[in-house]
Amino acid sequence: MCWTQCQTCSENGRERSPQKRASFICWISQYPANYLVLVDEVSKDDRTYARLWGRALQGQRVEVQSPFVQKRCLSMLAAMALDQGIITSMVVEGSFNHDLFVKFLCEDLVCSYLFTPLPRC
């Protein structure tokens, strides 16, 4: 038997620049860690668990038995402070757009900071 090897190729660092990274670290280090708030988006649907790559004998197709499900997609935005953990989050059905992101910033993130006492430096 002759097995073929499937691999995904990654293009690491075509856009990486050590000078830009050092400049950013120098610039961001002027702020205390409790001033930084990180926002990240994640999405989940029922199709994401199926494998995209597989192995088969040479000359044969890879066949995978997986359910074809087109259900709803959920997206979540979360804001995290380094000293407090997750501050606020928002889950929507579908994807985030500009209006939902601005709504998250104005109604959830800013309001949570307005009613939370700020730590002393």
| Domain residue spans of the chain | 36-48+71-121
Report the alpha-carbon distance of residue 94 to residue 38 in Å, rounded.
22
pLDDT at 64 over 90: no
How large is the average pLDDT for residues 60-79?
Answer: 79
Taking the CA atoms of 17, 18, 20 and 21 in sequence, report the sign of the dihedral they define: positive
**Residue 78 reports pLDDT greater than 70:** yes
What integer is the mean pLDDT of 40-53?
74
101 token code pair: 């992101």
User: Is the pTM here over 0.85, yes or no?
Assistant: no
